[in-house]
Chains A and B, each alone.
Chain A
Amino acid sequence: MTITEQRAEHAPAAEALLQLDDVGKRYGNVHALRGVNINVRAGEVTCVLGDNGAGKSTLIKIVAGLHDYSDGSLKLNGIVRRFGSPRAAQAAGIATVYQDLALAPLMSVWRNFFLGNEVRRGPVLDIVKMKKVCGEELTKMGIVIPDLDRPVGSLSGGQRQCIAIARAIYFGARVIILDEPTAALGVKQSGVVLKYIVAARDAGLGVIFITHNPHHAYLVGNHFVVLKLGRVVLDAHRDELTLDRLAAEMAGGQELEELSHELQGVDASRVVEPAAQDGHPHVAAPVIDERERAELQHEE
């Protein structure tokens, strides 16, 4: 793998490794994803943000080969591809590190590292070599696990995440998809994982970082795509964006403005004296005008 040092600040010169053109996905009459355009370039971190149900999982499944897409086209190195299975996507150089990491908890570190890509000498597993390579690769990424026979389940979440990333990189991935890698981690461990994302980028990989945390995304991302209800609502390079803007987009952007307008007069800073101990608290019905009532009934 040769690394081309490309300090390209949103230079479109860099050829997109993975290109999604107007990709859509329908499950029956449900449009889970509509008109999504994403370009993933080598040596760049592309962050895909979105709240629950925004279509992030669908997008991952399409790129990882678990689902086919209904509309548009997916191009890898400029060639339109449809992956029939996760194996086909992997063979094409797309590795996915799922939220659940695809590690078997009771199996040892080295067995997990080589799962599905075992090294053999004749019909027999070359355990010595596998342990050696596994140890070297993990050390290269700064993870030291002296006992590779330890079951993966006994390691910390961050360590497991890093093993999964190291594995994807070692087995020749060119595009690596990370599904919410920091979602279940503490601050320290998130930091470690974000460092590995940068390490993968520095190794020349195209990284797709799926997250709902704009702060984590902004720490490492080059390019940001925000999904909402299956559509791209923001597609911007780092230069065109501030963290506040990104966070606002994530939090709902325009919706949030509307919501604050709706809640005018609520007086959020007010603190009310607790009710007298003998009396039951009385909750008054909120004042709702005709328009709001009509909207509520309409939604029902």
Chain B
Amino acid sequence: MTATTVTAGDDRVATRSRAALFLSRPEVGALIGAIAIAVLFLAVAPAFRSVDNVGTILYGSSTIGIMAVGVSLLMIGGEFDLSAGVGVTTSGLTAALTAWDLGLNVWTGVIIALVVSLAIGAFNGWLLHVTGLPSFLVTLGTFFVLQGVNLAVTRIVTGGVSSADMTDMAGWGSAQKVFAAQVTIGAVKLNITVLFWVLLTAIGGFLLLRTTVGNWILASGGDAAAARAVGVPVTATKIGLFMGVGFCAWVTGMHMLFNFNNVQSGAGVGNEFIYIIAAVIGGCLLTGGYGSVVGASVGALIFGMTQLGITYAGWNPDWFKTFLGAMLLGATLVNMYVKKKADAR
């Protein structure tokens, strides 16, 4: 890195080279990690090399990645959402149970689920604002409340632990085409969730880096008091971010419902941490104010590759979570190291 120019004003601040600028981006660590994981499994798992499995790997990544978009934006805005995992289940159940119990068109249930998911997000944000408690506590509360509601309401409505079969109800076919369609491109079978994932990543990345709202998100997470002092609507921004997570939970929940034909009322517990892991691997700081939506999606890709790679390599899948934990630590350290190196140049 020799491309340093001395300026007249302050010769202590030199311009940084392009390479250093690139390396200082938050998603670089995740990219390096993704390449390393891909190389590892390409080497040890023959099935990983098969083109047929690309669709499967991308599908696994997309169900995490859609949520990772919302969760990473929220984390950049300085907050957590521990209710995101069960929120997906709540959304799926809301659509299934309202449509089935009231005999509505499936699409009506889908719309009600959207409203409920956005309302849960807004409620989280509002509660955070009113109580002044950390979001970790507030959403831990909603996490348990929703977990209980999922189980209890499903029991009341259907008498069981999953939503009833509604494949013969009006609107099912068209809704399934929207939320769980399969497209075959050459040898690759792609689920529509991959499209949703890519689309949401593009929108989220654009929102963060190229719009006013993105500036507000970065500032709200970086220094809320400072943001408020220059007139940024911090509370509204944060409520909006929680609602964004709600929207992503709705997309994922609808896919779960229409892909598997029913929703298990106990599902989703523990997934909130997987979304957070994806965001952190992708370069989001736990303290907020810094991170990348694209990085979080790469984090989700790492998750999908590892999950299937272990199976393809013939390793015992029991080790998956251990692998994930080690990777989280590794990725975070790499992120820190790369950032430090790049800033020092």
- CB-based closest 3 A-B pairs: A144-B9, A104-B222, A116-B230
Is A80 close to B, CB under 8 A? no
Q: Could you say which residues of chain B place their CB within 8 Å of the CB of A115?
A: 215, 219, 227, 230, 232
B155 is an interface residue with CB less than 8 A from chain A: no
B210 touching A103, Cβ below 8 Å = no
Contact B215 A125 (CB under 8 A): yes
Assuming the A-B contacts A104-B289, A107-B289, are A118 and B226 also in contact, with contact meaning beta carbons closer than 8 angstroms in the complex?
A: no
Q: Which of A102, A150, A155 contacts B229 (CB 8 A)?
A: A102
Interface of B is mostly: loop
Q: Is B343 on the interface with A (CB-CB < 8 A)?
A: yes
**A123-B211, A124-B210, A125-B212 are contacts. A111–B229 as well, Cβ < 8 Å?**
no
Contact partner of B211 (CB less than 8 A), chosen from A90, A124, A149, A159, is A124
A265 close to chain B: CB less than 8 A: no
Identify the closest chain B residue to A168 (Cβ): B230
Residues from chain B with Cβ under 8 Å of A86 in the complex:
228-229, 231
Contact A107 B212 (CB under 8 A): no
Q: Mark A111-136, 1 if CB is under 8 A from B, else 0.
A: 10011111010011101000000000
Given A125-B211, A149-B21, output 12 extra A-B contacts at Cβ < 8 Å. Answer: A87-B231, A103-B223, A105-B289, A106-B289, A114-B215, A115-B232, A123-B211, A125-B215, A145-B13, A146-B7, A146-B15, A154-B343
Given contacts A114-B215, A144-B7, A146-B7, A90 and B223 within 8 Å (CB-CB) = no
**Closest beta carbon of chain A to B14's beta carbon, Å:** 7
Q: What string of 1s and 0s marks CB contacts (under 8 Å) between B199-219 and chain A?
A: 000000000001110110011
Q: Interface code B6-17, partner A: CB below 8 Å = 1, 0 otherwise? A: 011110011110
A214-256, CB under 8 A of B: which get 1 and which 0?
0000000000000000000000000000000000000000000
Known: A104-B222, A107-B289, A143-B9. Contact between A120 and B229, CB under 8 A?
Answer: no
- CB of A98 closer than 8 Å to a CB of B: yes
- Distance, CA A159 to CA B223, complexed state (A): 18
A146: chain B residues at CB < 8 Å are 5, 7, 13-15
A145 to B9, CA, bound (A): 8
Chain A positions within 8 Å of B343 at CB level: 154
Q: How far is the CA of A106 from the CA of B343 in the complex (A)?
A: 12
Shortest C-beta distance, B189 to chain A (Å), equals 36
Given A90-B231, A116-B231, A120-B212: A104 touches B14 (CB 8 Å cut-off): no
Let me know if A78 is at the binding interface, CB within 8 A: no
By a CB distance below 8 angstroms, the chain B residues around A111 are: 215, 218-219
Within 8 Å of chain A (Cβ to Cβ): is B225?
yes
Scoring B7, B210, B231 by chain A CB atoms within 10 A of each residue's CB, the highest score goes to B231
Residue A142 at the chain B interface, CB threshold 8 Å: yes
A100 within 8 A of B: yes
- In the bound complex, residues from chain B placing their C-beta under 8 Å from that of A150 are 13, 16
Closest CB in chain A relative to B183 CB, distance in Å: 30
Point out the residues of chain A lying under 8 angstroms from B226, CB to CB.
98, 100-104
Contact with B along A74-112 (1 / 0, CB 8 A): 000000000000110010000010101111111100010
In the complex, whether A257 has a CB less than 8 A from a CB of chain B is no
Instruction: Tell yes or no: A22 within 8 A of B by CB.
Output: no
B59 at the A/B interface (Cβ < 8 Å)? no
A contact residues around B210 at 8 Å (CB): 124-125, 127
Q: List 13 contacting pairs A-B, 8 Å CB cutoff, sorted by A.
A: A87-B231, A90-B230, A96-B229, A103-B226, A104-B218, A104-B222, A105-B222, A106-B222, A139-B9, A143-B10, A144-B7, A145-B13, A146-B7
Measured CB to CB, the nearest residue on chain B to A138 is B9
Name which residue of chain B comes closest to A85, CB basis. B231
Residues of B within 8 A of A117 (CB): 230-231
B215 contact from A87, A118, A144, A155, Cβ within 8 A:
A118
Asked whether any CB of chain B lies closer than 8 Å to the CB of A147, the reply is yes
| Docked pose: A100 CA to B225 CA in angstroms | 9
* Cβ < 8 Å to A, chain B residues 121-157: none
In the complex, which residues of chain B have a beta carbon less than 8 angstroms from the beta carbon of A142? 9
A114 to B232, CA, bound (A): 11
Q: Does chain A have a CB within 8 A of B290? A: yes
Best-surrounded residue of A103, A115, A145, A149 (most CB of chain B within 10 A): A115
Q: Cα distance A143–B214 when bound, in Å?
A: 27
* Interface of chain B residues 243 through 292 with chain A (CB within 8 A): 285, 289-290
Nearest chain-B residue to A108 (Cβ)? B218
User: Which residue of chain B has the shortest Cβ distance to A91 in the bound complex?
Assistant: B231
Report B68 CB to chain A, min CB distance, Å: 20
Q: In the complex, which residues of chain A have a beta carbon less than 8 angstroms from the beta carbon of B218?
A: 104, 106-107, 111
Known: A116-B227, A118-B212. A147 touches B219 (CB 8 A): no
**Shortest distance from the beta carbon of A252 to any chain B beta carbon, whole Å:** 33
On whether the beta carbons of B232 and A116 are closer than 8 Å, the reply is yes
Task: State which of A100, A107, A127, A147 has its C-beta within 8 Å of the C-beta of B15.
Answer: A147
Q: Please, which residue of chain A has its CB at the minimum distance from the CB of B20?
A: A147
